[in-house]
Amino acid sequence: MSLPSVLKPALTPFIRFVQNEAFAGVLLVCVAIFAFAWANSPWAANYFDLRSTYFKLTLGSSELKLSLEHWANDGLMAVFFLLVGLEIKRELLIGELASRRKATLAVAAAAGGMLLPAGLYALVNGGGVGASGWGVPMATDIAFALGVLALLGSRVPLGLKIFLTALAIVDDLGAVLVIAFFYTAGLNLAFLALAALTWGLALFAGWRGLFSLKIYAVLGAFLWFFVLESGLHATLAGVLLALAVPIRRPDPAGYLASLNAAPRPTEGEEEEARLLDLEDLLERSQSPLHRLEHAIHPFVTYAVLPAFALMNAGVAIGGGAGLGVVSLGVLLGLLLGKPLGVVGFAWLAVRFKLASLPDRVHWGHMVGAGLLAGIGFTMSLFVSNLAFGNEALLTQAKLGVLLASVLAAVLGAGWLLVVSKSGVEGEALDGAVSAE
């Protein structure tokens, strides 16, 4: 059954986003499996040599030298966080999170999905050598989670996909705050001041309505470098820049006048050229935020996340390395804490009439979403790198993340397949909860 035409304009961005992230999830799985197999193969030394290969960027007398692993984690992932920041800003201002009741459901579910996993991890590792890893099981990998939902197709309602998208976006915001406040080392005040000044210029440019993306690209490059040198994690520069990019569109009057004044295209090459001009005109009439989001989304999908997976999913399990108490904390947090937190806090929000479930979504679906939220891959691996300097503990954390993500995907997909075949029971459960 096709969507009503009146709903298509509003839902198209979500549908496009779901489709892209579904492919990103499949690609990430393949790259992660390849990296893990490589790191445990007879050619493992080549893998780790590749990760530790240094590349330098020289500008005048200044030189920035980082390993390939750090270029992926600190450089490319800043673009990923830029995309996350753009999505957060868009959803807060004009998207799903702009509606109070819808936002309340996503925020409540995300809060529960962060607090309970961190609490369970701390219960296992509090006071021990792995205590600093409490932030590892807090995050949700939106690419993997939506990839699993896409594989289920029409068996799950669109409202569940939209809810899980909003949940993951709020979740990412929470992860950004955790990184900024709890996983930041000593600060260099001089570079911090330069970063603040650069961000102020970007905010001023957005406030003044400067719509050229080149301005934000140049300011973003300087902001990234200053944040990197300040002691804050460099990826935070991406979020800060996203907050400055304006979401309002240029004055449409000039574009409409140009479109109305444009002569009717003739046949042949002249017609094609005129159509390309009109297409460019329409694209430039979009807000800078939407243009930037659409421009970098394929780069993040096909380059940034696969590169990150290649550099971080290669965990060697030989030589005594393996699962441990840190892995147990991560497993409990992602597989138990996530679904309990997401469903429990969402139920409280609905119970106290602060929010309502999306259309055609019942509590059986919500349990499945909670299980899928336990797929922590990208962000959990990222936080693991920040939380642990000890290689053995880092290996435990990464193994816990990889194992939990696979199990969460299987359990979530299996659960949703079951409840999708028993829709009557799901509706009955929904009615029973509402009647309480």
Residue-wise pLDDT tens digits, 186-206: 778 888 899 999 999 999 998
pLDDT given at position 424? 42
Identity at 10, one-letter amino acid code:
A
Spatial contact of 201 and 219, defined as CB atoms under 8 Å apart? yes
Query: What are residue 58's DSSP bridge partners?
Result: 63
Query: What are residue 67's DSSP bridge partners?
Result: 54
Identity at 200, one-letter amino acid code:
G
pLDDT given at position 265? 54
Identity at 393, one-letter amino acid code:
L
Spatial contact of 382 and 399, defined as CB atoms under 8 Å apart? no
| C-alpha–C-alpha distance, residues 191 and 225, integer Å | 9
The CA-based diameter of the chain, rounded to the nearest angstrom, is 75
| C-alpha–C-alpha distance, residues 238 and 382, integer Å | 15
Q: What is the dihedral of CA 143, 146, 147, 151, to 10 degrees?
A: 180
Q: What is the pLDDT of residues 262-311, one digit of tens each?
A: 555 555 556 566 555 555 555 556 778 888 888 888 888 888 888 888 88
pLDDT given at position 276? 58
Written as six digits, the tokens of 171 are 């979740």
316 by Cβ neighbours in 10 Å (0-12 / 13-18 / 19+) ranks as middle
Contacts from 319-324 at CB under 8 Å and sequence distance 24+? 321/392, 321/395, 321/396, 322/395, 322/396, 322/399, 323/396, 323/399, 323/400, 323/403, 324/130, 324/392, 324/393, 324/396
The string of DSSP codes covering 313-365 is: S-----TT----HHHHHHHHIIIIIHHHHHHHHHHHHHHTTS--PPTT--HHH
The architecture (CATH level 2) of 8-184+233-249+286-435 comes to Up-down Bundle (1.20)
127 by Cβ neighbours in 10 Å (0-12 / 13-18 / 19+) ranks as exposed
**336-351 burial string, b = 16+ CB within 10 Å, else e?**
bbbbbbbbbbbbebbe
pLDDT given at position 218? 93
Identity at 52, one-letter amino acid code:
S
| C-alpha–C-alpha distance, residues 228 and 282, integer Å | 37
pLDDT given at position 342? 95
Which residue is it, tokens 């957005």? 206
| C-alpha–C-alpha distance, residues 63 and 81, integer Å | 24
Q: What is the pLDDT of residues 364-388, one digit of tens each?
A: 999 999 999 999 888 888 889 888 8
Spatial contact of 35 and 29, defined as CB atoms under 8 Å apart? no
pLDDT given at position 298? 83
DSSP for residue 66: E
The ranges of the chain with pLDDT < 50 are 1-2, 6-7, 424-426, 428-429, 432-436
DSSP for residue 76: I
pLDDT given at position 121? 95
143 by Cβ neighbours in 10 Å (0-12 / 13-18 / 19+) ranks as buried
